[in-house]
Amino acid sequence: MYTNTRFGDVMKGLSRSGFEKQVVQMQSDKYAKGFRSWDQLVAMVYAQVSGSRSLRELEVGFNAQSGHHYHLGTRSIKRSTLADANAKRSSTLFQGLAEQLLAGSHRKLRQQYKKMLYLLDSTPIHLIGDGYDQWGLSNRNGRTQGLKVHMLYSPDAQLPIEMSISAPNLNDIDAARPMAIEPNATYVFDKGYCDYNWWYKIEQSDACFVTRFKHNAALVELESKLIPEDAKAVILSDTLVRFKYKHPGGQRINHYQKPLRQVVVARPDKPTPLVLATNDLERPAAEIAQLYKTRWQIELFFKWLKQNLKIKRFLGRSKNAVKTQIYVAIISYILLWQYRQRHGIKQSMHLCLASLTVSLFQRPDTEQAIARRQRRHREQIKRWQVELPL
């Protein structure tokens, strides 16, 4: 009886029929001569979870397991064919698949958690050199040439919720404005998302936010709140404030005229304290400070992605190839997360991936059956030994 390999089990998180519908809608296989979108997806996911560092290494490793290709619905690959597909087949197909997987996981999380906590941030993908310069020089900023990945992340589930890719010269707040705001959720972000009218959109959506005031924010103090004794070492002040000006300059209008909360947090390792802004008037000040501290978890997530999946070293240098590989990296992460959830694996994502990398084409059910037969054989030998006359 056939049993899935571990890699086949990871790929179970994908709906093949749903993916093929997207392929038909986008006509991604219209000019394909044998190497289909599904073949490209399977090969690129394999590259992510196997740690392949080059097209040659990917080709040799994947083709060495040709006996397992049939059950994956794919075939052996040629690196030149895969390189052409990454360069020419639109990354929009893989963007749609990533968004579909993110939305499905998000729905399950909302059923599990009554009040969601979201972290919002971005990370640069720095790309310089022949092939990258042709498309990266025109939209670079002062620090980065390449791309920028914007992400909404759930620290409780250790799962990305939404993502997008942009040029590095796009401001973070410009990527955040179109985002749908979820009622009763809490959003934590840094000063890169300073837009008072966007904060007001969050307030109007019955959601909370925790961020930082800029040093030049014009505020009027309304009321000072008492600080509990056990929090005085951390919380320097807790006050209700409002913005001083409705028309901060030019044609701009600040629609946020409701009271806000300013929480000043001591930083022993820094010369200045942390000045937090939030519309949450109920949580204790110490909890507000802890929520902002949680923001570092998305930084750790970005670091994990770059260290464990392939979004620093790319298998192609065109913009389309780079974006395809980033989207497939996110797809691979979600598939790994789902695999870990299905099997109740308690190991961290890092150890789970490390275990999978060295056993992708092993069949756990077959291994368990062999182990059971060996155990029964050993037990039978013990019984025979007991029955032998002295």
Confidence of residue 289 (pLDDT cuts 50, 70, 90): very high
If we measure between CA atoms, which residue out of 160, 168, 161, 91 comes closest to residue 124? Answer: 168
Q: Is 104 exposed, middle or buried (0-12, 13-18, 19+ CB in 10 A)?
A: middle
Structure token pair of residue 231: 């929090």
Please indicate whether residue 156 or residue 248 has the higher confidence score (pLDDT).
156
pLDDT tens per residue, range 120-162: 999 999 999 999 999 999 889 888 899 999 999 999 999 999 9
pLDDT of residue 377: 65
pLDDT of residue 373: 63
Structure token pair of residue 263: 């929480």
pLDDT tens per residue, range 82-116: 999 999 999 999 999 999 999 999 988 888 887 89
pLDDT of residue 227: 93
Contact 223, 240 (CB under 8 A): yes
* C-alpha 342, offset from chain centre: 19
pLDDT of residue 221: 94
pLDDT tens per residue, range 26-44: 999 988 888 999 999 999 9
Structure token pair of residue 322: 């780079």
**Is the per-residue pLDDT at 370 higher than 60?**
no
Confidence of residue 380 (pLDDT cuts 50, 70, 90): confident
pLDDT of residue 266: 94
Average pLDDT of the residues in 225-242 = 94
Question: What CA–CA distances, in Å, run from 137 to 128, 132, 165, 311, 321?
Answer: 9, 8, 17, 19, 17
pLDDT of residue 296: 95
Confidence of residue 2 (pLDDT cuts 50, 70, 90): low
If we measure between CA atoms, which residue out of 109, 209, 98, 210 comes closest to residue 162? Answer: 98
pLDDT of residue 169: 93
Q: Which residue shows structure tokens 């087949």? A: 89
pLDDT of residue 368: 52
Main-chain phi, psi angles of 266, to 5 degrees: -70, 140
Confidence of residue 388 (pLDDT cuts 50, 70, 90): low
Please indicate whether residue 250 or residue 349 has the higher confidence score (pLDDT).
349
pLDDT tens per residue, range 184-230: 999 999 999 999 999 999 999 999 999 999 988 999 999 999 999 99
pLDDT tens per residue, range 321-360: 999 999 999 999 999 999 999 989 889 999 999 999 998 9
